[in-house]
Amino acid sequence: MTTLERFDPTGIQRVLCIVAHPDDMEYGGSAAVAEWTAQGIEVSYLLLTAGEAGMRGVAPEVAGPLRAAEQRAACDVVGVTDLTILDLPDGLVEHSIETRRRIAHAIRQARPDAIFTMTWDLEAGWGLNHADHRATGLAVVDAIRDADNPWLFREQLTDGLTEWKTTWLLATAHRPDHAIEVSERALELGIASLAAHREYLEALPDHPTPHDLVTGVLTGGGEQAGLPFALPVHAYRMG
């Protein structure tokens, strides 16, 4: 049944993707990114943490740099050169003023037309959502408004940096109402970008293969939109 409207990227020149961890973009999101970069849209990634507490058998001092390097490789696959990884503590990200300040600064720098993030719902499609994902999503919602308010975080507004209004917020796995159409080529790149998290995935033996996982997400989204492959999102126009 076709229930999702195709998201029209006309007019979007820059997208900023904001997530908590290395690999968060790679469960379908990066296939949409591959589609966008192929269309000439500039895409940047902002990760709030290096995911250093995400590998049970690997100490954070080793896991952080390892996962950052795997994220860089994942970005290369889908045409993203602008990757920023903040130093917030993995597993302990807070929906705080400081987190909003850091995100608002990145928004004012990147000046995106659309921001892409993950759902902040407690109950996400796959089960109970991670604390960092919830905190990040909520902080992103607030920081979009903060970045547009010239009276907030005024210390950032120097050296030509100004307030910035983002038009769209796209959130995955969050009561989708739109679908981002993805070509077969972009699907393949999306799979390859998840596979770039090689050592991280090797440490999760029960994890589905990147092929099965990303294809499943995008085929399911496509079915809901009457398209071969699509990523379901909730598209909010920011007032």
Amino acid at 237: R
- Minimum Å distance from CB 192 to Zn ion? 19
3 state DSSP class of 176: coil
Which region among 10-18, 19-27, 169-177, 204-212 touches Zn ion (by CB under 5 A)?
A: 19-27
Of 85, 94, 76, 71, which is closest to residue 23 (Cα–Cα)? 71
Q: Residue 3 in 3-state DSSP?
A: coil
Choosing from 4, 9, 17, 21, the residue that interacts with Zn ion (CB under 5 A) is 21
Element (H, E) at 115: strand 114-118
Residue 238's CB: how many other CB atoms inside 10 A?
A: 14
Q: Does 24 bind Zn ion (CB under 5 A)?
A: yes
Site size toward Zn ion, by CB under 5 A: 2
Query: Do residues 90 and 53 make contact, with C-beta atoms less than 8 angstroms apart?
Result: yes
Half-sphere exposure of 34 (CA within 13 A, CB side): 27
21 versus 108: smaller Cβ distance to Zn ion: 21
Which of residues 71 and 215 has its CB atom nearest to Zn ion in the complex?
Answer: 71
Residue with smaller CB distance to Zn ion, 99 or 222: 99
Q: Is 197 in the site for Zn ion (CB under 5 A)?
A: no
**Is the Cβ of residue 53 or residue 235 nearer to Zn ion in the bound state?**
53
Note the residues at the interface with Zn ion (CB under 5 A). 21, 24
